[in-house]
Amino acid sequence: MNKFILPNLIFDVGIYKKRDNRFPLRSPFILYYDAVEDLIIQKINDKVRRALKIYYSLGGYTSTPLGEGEYAKKQGDDIFKVIKRSLLEEKKLILKMSFLEIGAGYGYLLYLLKKEGAKEILGLEPGKEGTIGSKKYKIPFVQDFFPSKLLIKKFDYIFSYAVLEHIENPLFILKEIFKNLNNDGMVFLAVPDCEKKMMIGDISIISHQHLNYFTENSLRKLMEKAGFKNIKIVESKKRSALFAWGIKEQSPKKISQSQKSHSDKLIFKKFTINFTININAIQSLIEIFEREGKEIGLYAPCANLIGLLNFKNRPRIFQRDKFKHSKYISGCPRVIEAPERLIKKPVDVLFIAPIDYDKEIRNYLEEIGLNEKKAKIISMKGIYENNSGIKYKVSSK
């Protein structure tokens, strides 16, 4: 099977107080394997394409922006450590370099570069976050999409975090980055690492916003096609993410890492099978619990999870991030609650949705006093592992 189709998937518009009616509630979702690019890609229609452009222009976020809130600040700091590592390995000094961030959001990573004494920094951001970040962090921004005619010079280091997976033609963008780099300049990319999650059929991996589903294999091939040399790709130690960098040079001094022998076709096949099995397994549990009259809670679910499951009674939604409290997630009419509410008013069954932070969430719930005596806690990570026969873990590199 070369296509995976969901006829009516929730269109995730992130966390909001009031829904914007310019966005569709649901839209078809089509995923396929592109044998030419050896890449798993979402095929979108014009309706979704227009909605995504509005979404990004308004500054859409399905998660908390880097630097905003305790967790997102920590996440930004962790990414910055990898940026510094890339520079150190290529023997480059921040003090002597100019930096451009594509899709800079509020500009937290640029702010950290500024603190380290970067020679020049610039953020490119189509949404309103750039205006806010410019005032907050005192850094320059251009409000536009990449490539932009407003960029009038080349840079030593161009980077992006969680951007390339949203681009309809990622090879074109990488080639444009190549053009906008000075000779011996560097590109740095941070994208979701989809291989392990797709192999176990993680429901949270799909979204209308994600057009490309990268693995180390497909990301390396794309960077090579764009002309980059000395490519290095590392896996995150804490979550499913890939960090990649490469050099714009004519005569490579080093040989790139060897490619993996397999293509992404097998990953796509495994995903289509295990995704369906997982949805059916979770739905069966929900039906059992609801027949028993039990109230269900979901901890940090993605919007498509809510949209793909059927509930007789609306589930309660919990999230530790204060940024999201008393707001809504697409597909659910109940506001997001603080986890502490589980102590005062517990649910009967609580599903933990994020698989990268399953252990961390469990430990936190135990710290605040929630245990199996108060609520039955079910790990979706455990369901996925059991159904796929694959143990999921983030890299220990």
pLDDT in tens, 224-253: 999 999 999 999 877 889 999 999 986 555
Residue 396: pLDDT band (50, 70, 90) is: very low
Superfamily of domain 1-285, CATH level 4: Vaccinia Virus protein VP39 (3.40.50.150)
Say how far residue 296 (Cα) sits from the centre of its chain. Answer: 26
Q: In the predicted model, is pLDDT for residue 71 greater than 80?
A: no
Q: In the predicted model, is pLDDT for residue 65 greater than 60?
A: yes
pLDDT in tens, 338-369: 999 999 999 999 999 999 999 999 999 999 99
Q: With pLDDT > 90 as the criterion, what percentage of the chain qualifies?
A: 76
Give the per-residue pLDDT at 131: 84
pLDDT in tens, 126-137: 988 888 888 889
Give the per-residue pLDDT at 1: 55
Write the CB contacts of 5 (distance below 8 Å, at least 6 apart in sequence). Answer: 28, 29, 30, 31
Mean pLDDT score of the chain, rounded to an integer?
A: 91
pLDDT in tens, 302-333: 998 988 999 999 999 999 988 899 999 998 99
Residue 372: pLDDT band (50, 70, 90) is: confident
What pTM, to 2 d.p., does this model score? 0.90
Q: If you average pLDDT over residues 273-297, what whole number do you get?
A: 97
Nearest alpha-carbon partner for 338 in 353, 355, 319: 319
Find the helix or strand (DSSP H, E) in which 94 lies.
none
Radius of gyration for the alpha carbons in the chain, expressed in angstroms and rounded? 21
The whole-angstrom separation of Cα 152 and Cα 52 is 27
Note the CATH architecture for domain 286-388. Answer: 3-Layer(aba) Sandwich (3.40)
pLDDT in tens, 163-220: 999 999 999 999 999 999 999 999 999 999 999 999 999 999 999 999 999 999 999 9
Contact 231, 255 (CB under 8 A): no
Contact 174, 222 (CB under 8 A): yes
Neighbours of 1 (CB within 10 A): 10
Residue with tokens 């603190």: 115
Contact 106, 65 (CB under 8 A): yes
Give the per-residue pLDDT at 339: 96
Angle, helix 108-115 to helix 70-89, in steps of 10 degrees: 50
Give the per-residue pLDDT at 76: 87
More confident call, 13 vs 283? 283
**Ranges of CATH 3.40.50.150 domains, the chain:** 1-285
Q: If you average pLDDT over residues 274-294, what whole number do you get?
A: 98
Give the per-residue pLDDT at 129: 82
Contact 53, 285 (CB under 8 A): no
Q: In the predicted model, is pLDDT for residue 273 greater than 90?
A: yes
- Dihedral angle computed from the Cα positions of residues 192, 197, 202 and 208, in that order, rounded to the nearest 10 degrees: 30
